[in-house]
Amino acid sequence: MLRPQLQYYSEEGKPFELRLVGKIKQQLSTDPTLHPEYPSSLGLREFTRKATEVALGKHSRAIVENQVLGVQTPGFTAAVRLGAELLRCWYDLSADWCGPVYLSSPCDDSLAGIFQAAGIQEIREYYYWDDKQRGICLERLLEDLESAPEHSVVVLSASAHYPTGADLSQSQWAVITRLITSRRLFPFLLLPTQALCCGDMERDAWPVQHCASLGMELLCAQSFSHCFGLYGEAVGHLLCVLKQNSVLLPVQSQADKIVRSLWARPSVGGAHVVTTVLSNSAHLVEWQGEVKHIVERCMLIRAILREKLRLLGTPGRWDHLTQQGGLFCCIGLNGEQVEFLSNRRRVYLLPGGCLNVSAINCRNLDYIAESIHLALTSSL
């Protein structure tokens, strides 16, 4: 019944296309000024400029001082892959860096494979989600990063952590960035659903802006497929913030070489849509209104599910449901309970007990609440 895919579903249970995006697609299809031609291997220049601005802010010092490289990619996964490839020569263009890379536990199952495909075999985990307290355990997270070797890469979710939906607070980010700086670690930030956590692109990107404001070099993988409903068009972006602009051209040359060997050139259809919206203030206001509706619906579903579980007398506390954000939340069920839901109730969650909030609607909400209650109270 529930879909674990990282995709927004409407109240009708269908993949959702924003009205504005549909209108712009139609306009672009009849625009005589757009010609079918290959883009640069690094993507549409105006798209990369706008993608960089929504991550760092228009007046970012890194942008002003020309310390930023943006590369359009065919989706979020491709952005992570390109970043992983660049890491291998980040510290020394003549050397081959090989890790380790630290991933949160839990995280997107595909991340380890992406880094390994790029030749980085040493993948480690840092503690993130604590099942007992149903939230982030900062103390254990810091312990793991404190013991990380110098130049280790730490992959951190900037907002809407997948699959738990639990995000670090600004005060927690302040502590972590101090540790990253003192231990000389390298942050690789993830923005897979920018704007779908807080309903605001700038707020969701605050951790990226905070790290850049501290003068940290970093990588950030972005996706515009989710917040624009462009699931079939895979619109991604890799942002590279460098410590000095003297290395910009060598990194750009290396990125160009890698891209040509992986996908040659990104497609431009979805990128044109995103650029059109971000470049027009009226379009931007309309798009923000539609995104706000999506975020508010997800938060309402969380609140109603929490209340229904409370009324059913379901064991445990459920406040964490409304303290998380984005499309996913971690219910806090163990493996046996998740298996009970799939085998006995046909409710399918990720193995760690995480679900896609948007797949809940008025037709299945009661059934899902009852199923969770039964999973926690029945003799399995």
Range of the domain at 349: 283-377
Spatial CA neighbour of 47 closest among 353, 368, 203, 265 = 265
Report how far apart, in Å, the C-alpha atoms of 351 and of each of 96, 102, 158 are: 35, 21, 23
Side chain identity, residue 193: T
Distance (Å, whole) CA 216 – CA 363:
48
Residues 76 and 181 in one domain: yes
pLDDT in tens, 253-311: 999 999 999 999 999 999 999 999 999 999 999 999 999 999 999 999 999 999 999 99
pLDDT in tens, 47-86: 999 999 999 999 999 999 999 999 999 999 999 999 999 9
pTM for the model stands at 0.94
List the beta bridge partners of residue 71: 238
Distance (Å, whole) CA 239 – CA 245:
14
Residues 159 and 211 in one domain: yes
Give 17's pLDDT tier (boundaries 50, 70, 90): confident
**CATH for 153:** 3.40.640.10
Distance (Å, whole) CA 87 – CA 81:
10
For the chain, what is the domain count?
2
Residues 300 and 270 in one domain: no
Residues 295 and 254 in one domain: no
Note whether residue 7 is domain-resident. no
